[in-house]
Amino acid sequence: MSISETGDVLDFNDWIVAEFADRGAFTALVVLVEIGDRSVTPLASTYLNVIGAEVEWLEIMALFADAGVHWDGASFFPAIAPEGGPLDNAAARARLSEIESRVKAERLTLNEGFFFDRQGRRIMIEEVAAQ
Protein backbone atom coordinates (compact mmCIF):
# COMPACT_ATOMS: atom_id res chain seq x y z
CA MET A 1 0.00 0.00 0.00
CA SER A 2 1.08 3.53 -0.56
CA ILE A 3 -0.30 6.90 0.41
CA SER A 4 -1.02 9.64 -2.07
CA GLU A 5 -2.49 13.09 -1.90
CA THR A 6 -5.92 13.14 -3.47
CA GLY A 7 -5.19 16.09 -5.70
CA ASP A 8 -8.02 17.92 -3.96
CA VAL A 9 -7.18 21.19 -2.30
CA LEU A 10 -9.48 20.09 0.49
CA ASP A 11 -7.79 19.99 3.86
CA PHE A 12 -9.31 19.23 7.25
CA ASN A 13 -10.39 22.81 7.97
CA ASP A 14 -12.21 23.06 4.62
CA TRP A 15 -13.71 19.60 5.07
CA ILE A 16 -15.14 20.22 8.54
CA VAL A 17 -16.86 23.41 7.38
CA ALA A 18 -18.35 21.68 4.31
CA GLU A 19 -19.35 18.56 6.27
CA PHE A 20 -21.12 20.60 8.96
CA ALA A 21 -22.87 22.72 6.34
CA ASP A 22 -24.08 19.52 4.63
CA ARG A 23 -25.06 17.42 7.68
CA GLY A 24 -25.45 19.76 10.61
CA ALA A 25 -24.22 18.33 13.92
CA PHE A 26 -22.73 14.84 13.57
CA THR A 27 -20.45 12.30 15.20
CA ALA A 28 -16.96 11.82 13.74
CA LEU A 29 -15.74 8.24 14.20
CA VAL A 30 -11.94 8.42 13.99
CA VAL A 31 -9.23 5.83 13.35
CA LEU A 32 -5.60 6.87 13.98
CA VAL A 33 -2.94 5.02 11.99
CA GLU A 34 0.80 4.65 11.60
CA ILE A 35 1.95 4.98 8.00
CA GLY A 36 5.02 3.03 6.90
CA ASP A 37 6.69 2.85 3.50
CA ARG A 38 4.42 0.00 2.42
CA SER A 39 2.04 -0.41 5.32
CA VAL A 40 -0.70 1.27 7.30
CA THR A 41 -1.31 0.07 10.85
CA PRO A 42 -4.36 1.00 12.95
CA LEU A 43 -3.29 2.33 16.35
CA ALA A 44 -6.27 3.77 18.18
CA SER A 45 -9.78 4.99 17.62
CA THR A 46 -12.18 7.44 19.16
CA TYR A 47 -15.25 9.47 18.38
CA LEU A 48 -16.22 13.06 18.89
CA ASN A 49 -19.40 15.02 18.42
CA VAL A 50 -19.13 17.93 16.03
CA ILE A 51 -21.67 20.58 16.94
CA GLY A 52 -20.13 23.47 15.00
CA ALA A 53 -17.64 24.08 12.22
CA GLU A 54 -15.29 26.20 14.33
CA VAL A 55 -12.91 23.33 15.19
CA GLU A 56 -9.55 23.50 13.40
CA TRP A 57 -6.85 20.94 12.72
CA LEU A 58 -4.54 22.30 15.42
CA GLU A 59 -7.27 21.68 18.02
CA ILE A 60 -7.78 18.14 16.71
CA MET A 61 -4.04 17.49 16.92
CA ALA A 62 -4.06 18.69 20.53
CA LEU A 63 -6.88 16.25 21.32
CA PHE A 64 -5.04 13.38 19.64
CA ALA A 65 -1.82 14.20 21.52
CA ASP A 66 -3.44 12.49 24.51
CA ALA A 67 -3.87 9.23 22.56
CA GLY A 68 -0.53 7.97 23.85
CA VAL A 69 0.66 6.86 20.41
CA HIS A 70 2.59 8.50 17.60
CA TRP A 71 0.16 8.59 14.68
CA ASP A 72 0.69 9.62 11.06
CA GLY A 73 -2.86 9.75 9.75
CA ALA A 74 -6.47 9.96 10.88
CA SER A 75 -9.55 8.86 9.00
CA PHE A 76 -12.86 10.50 9.96
CA PHE A 77 -16.13 8.69 9.32
CA PRO A 78 -19.09 11.07 9.76
CA ALA A 79 -22.25 9.54 11.21
CA ILE A 80 -25.63 10.90 12.20
CA ALA A 81 -28.41 9.47 14.33
CA PRO A 82 -31.59 8.29 12.57
CA GLU A 83 -33.39 11.36 13.87
CA GLY A 84 -30.47 13.59 12.86
CA GLY A 85 -27.63 15.00 14.92
CA PRO A 86 -24.82 13.16 16.71
CA LEU A 87 -25.02 9.50 17.70
CA ASP A 88 -25.58 8.62 21.34
CA ASN A 89 -22.59 7.04 23.11
CA ALA A 90 -23.77 3.43 22.73
CA ALA A 91 -24.42 3.84 19.00
CA ALA A 92 -21.11 5.65 18.48
CA ARG A 93 -19.19 2.86 20.24
CA ALA A 94 -20.97 0.19 18.21
CA ARG A 95 -20.37 1.95 14.87
CA LEU A 96 -16.74 2.63 15.79
CA SER A 97 -16.25 -1.06 16.61
CA GLU A 98 -17.63 -1.99 13.17
CA ILE A 99 -15.25 0.43 11.46
CA GLU A 100 -12.28 -0.84 13.51
CA SER A 101 -13.04 -4.42 12.41
CA ARG A 102 -13.37 -3.40 8.78
CA VAL A 103 -10.11 -1.41 8.84
CA LYS A 104 -8.23 -4.32 10.45
CA ALA A 105 -9.52 -6.63 7.69
CA GLU A 106 -9.01 -4.17 4.82
CA ARG A 107 -6.91 -1.00 5.13
CA LEU A 108 -8.54 0.51 2.03
CA THR A 109 -11.59 1.04 4.26
CA LEU A 110 -9.78 4.16 5.52
CA ASN A 111 -10.51 5.75 2.13
CA GLU A 112 -14.25 5.47 2.82
CA GLY A 113 -13.76 8.07 5.52
CA PHE A 114 -12.04 11.41 5.16
CA PHE A 115 -8.37 10.51 5.60
CA PHE A 116 -5.84 13.19 6.61
CA ASP A 117 -2.11 13.23 7.32
CA ARG A 118 -0.55 14.96 10.35
CA GLN A 119 -0.62 18.28 8.51
CA GLY A 120 -4.37 18.02 7.95
CA ARG A 121 -4.02 17.34 4.21
CA ARG A 122 -6.37 14.87 2.54
CA ILE A 123 -4.69 11.58 1.58
CA MET A 124 -5.73 8.16 0.30
CA ILE A 125 -4.32 4.65 0.43
CA GLU A 126 -3.41 3.00 -2.85
CA GLU A 127 -2.74 -0.68 -3.38
CA VAL A 128 0.74 -1.61 -4.50
CA ALA A 129 1.71 -4.78 -6.29
CA ALA A 130 3.48 -7.35 -4.14
CA GLN A 131 7.16 -7.72 -4.90
pLDDT digits (tens, 9 = 90+) for 22-76: 999 999 999 999 999 889 999 999 999 999 989 999 999 999 998 889 999 999 9
Examine residue 131 and state whether it is found in any structural domain, yes or no.
no
Are 74 and 30 contacting, i.e. CB atoms less than 8 angstroms apart? yes
Examine residue 73 and state whether it is found in any structural domain, yes or no.
yes
Which comes out higher in pLDDT, residue 49 or 130? Answer: 49
Looking at the 3D structure of the chain, how many domains does it have?
A: 1
> Which range marks the domain in which residue 69 is found?
2-126
Distances (CA, A) of 40 to 24, 32, 43, 95, 101: 31, 10, 9, 21, 15
Examine residue 82 and state whether it is found in any structural domain, yes or no.
yes
pTM of the predicted model as reported, rounded to 2 decimal places: 0.90
Indicate the pLDDT class of residue 130, thresholds 50, 70 and 90: low
Are 75 and 33 contacting, i.e. CB atoms less than 8 angstroms apart? yes
Examine residue 69 and state whether it is found in any structural domain, yes or no.
yes
pLDDT digits (tens, 9 = 90+) for 81-102: 999 999 999 999 999 999 999 9
Examine residue 47 and state whether it is found in any structural domain, yes or no.
yes
